[in-house]
Structure 1
Amino acid sequence: MTMLLKEWKINKLLHLMVLPSLIYVLIYKYGPIAGIVIAFKKYYPVKGIWHSPWIGWDNFQYVLLLSDTPRVVANTLVIACWKIVCGLIAPILTALLLNEVRKSLFRRTFQTLVYFPHFLSWIILSGILIELLSPNAGIVNHVLGWLGIKPIFFLGDNRWFKFTLVASDVWKEFGFGTIVYLAALTNINPSLYEAAEVDGANRWRQTWHITLPGMIPIVVLLATLSLGNVLNAGFDQVFNLYSPAVYESGDIIDTFVYRLGLQQYQYGVATAVGLFKSGVSLVLISISYYAAYRFANYRIF
């Protein structure tokens, strides 16, 4: 206890700086956890949470019997997994290509351009994509028309909607990942390249035997940590881009919960779905952190 008081006196200003963030987390992150009891009740807003009748596991059973549930879960897993895979491959390839560029001005300009979409919200980007991908006036379909390809309804065709979601997400986020991998490349000892060049290795051989092995630790770390996002297919993106025409291919757990809770007023059912997702996500995040510790020696403390 004495040590804690001494530590507090030494770093009291730092603790005071953290205090607003702590209050925010307690109120807006931990406070709403009490509301999960709605998942086990027939919730009536006029009665409130505590006076609504208990119904046990009925909400969960109702969700499992819904015909839309398997499709929604499948869409979430497919979209999230493709985003994880493509979100790893694209920045790795971009970082490798940029690592070979010797013109610093070109490198900095390209990095700025690909990093910029990361700072834009999906509300802004969805408006841009809707205009670009319009089957009638969009520039993408105009280009396809010049190539002799019929217009494609990217945001209204179930055959193309998943692809559009994954491609646009990669376009938005791969610039941030590229910077992470470029930072990892700076830790590779330059003498390794010099020794390889003396031994007659060309640029491809140097990349294969030096650059890629040097990136493996950060690749393994980011890949394992991304396991916790298997059930997060991107609510902001999907919500701003989808429509009833593509529910079959684009409806995910988060948008399903939104419609159940805020449009159909089935608060207990929506809470049950959200609680189930949170439980599975907790397990996946725990596994991912253990894997990151096991294979990449990553620690959160």
Structure 2
Amino acid sequence: MASETDTIVGERVSPGTIPGLFHSMRTAPEPGTIDMIDLTPDGEDWSFQPQASSDSFATPEANALFQDLCGSKVHYNSRRMQLVLPASICSRSDWGIGQDTNAFEKLPITMIQFEIPADFPKVEFNVHRDPDDGSVDVRVTDFGEEDEDDLETEVTCFHPVIGLAAPEIGSDTGLLYRKGDYYLSQERMTITSKIVAGKSRMDLIDHETMGHTVCDGGVPLGHRPDFSGDITLTRSTRDGDRVSLDLEAVYRPYQKSVTRPAATDDYSFVTMCRDDENSCSDVRFLEPARNVDYSVEPASEVTGTTGEWYTDAAMWDGA
């Protein structure tokens, strides 16, 4: 039987905003945590009703902000994955794909997000709990097939806007600050890596670090660990040629990608960090940019400031 979250795995994005420019926003630390009320587990997934840990805000605007953030139920689906690419990759515009109507879509990509099919292979592991000190050791028992697992899927690509003179955007509440802007695009890719199959294991490790000393196969880990792994990305050019590249990807399981299907605001691609069993904090989200006047530089200057390693399309095998 399909779980409740299977029907809401898709991101809630305003129609017509992708491809497009988004403001990246983050809550300031002052409000503290958000309480997780009516937490409902569903296998590896869960949902809850957010509630501000404080009911006294300095301004009506601050109160309105948290009414938006806490006004609808939050759903976490374990099959959504976001990977950071430490070495940025070129956009598909470099292969002649795209409208090429502005400098934004030419910007390199530093992060991707996608959905993992329910029947995708998973790394098998067991959990050993020390009865004396309560420490936890998560040990892999089966990595699966020797070959890497292939996942062909629709990928949301995050292009950070760097190298462009951006207008200042302030916050009336003082509870939000702008981290920057992203141009978002979508592209069909094949992702080849064991890091995808290991998501459940990494999620469990992150969960256990909230209250225990945790080891990964005997190696001690700190609070909120990052996990890195090798991946191969395969893409198509306008001529239909398949090009691929081997690179590193980083998964941060503590940044939970959540969906708010009943919300009426424009906040999308929401992440929050779960602090303990009953609270979360550090809410981040994207908001469609409207009426933004960027001082657009020549595309060569824009792309030249965003990365050094894989921003040249000629570096991809088959290109």
Which of 1 and 2 has greater Rg? 1
TM-score (normalised: structure 2): 0.21
Q: Which has the larger strand fraction?
A: 2
TM-score (normalised: structure 1): 0.22
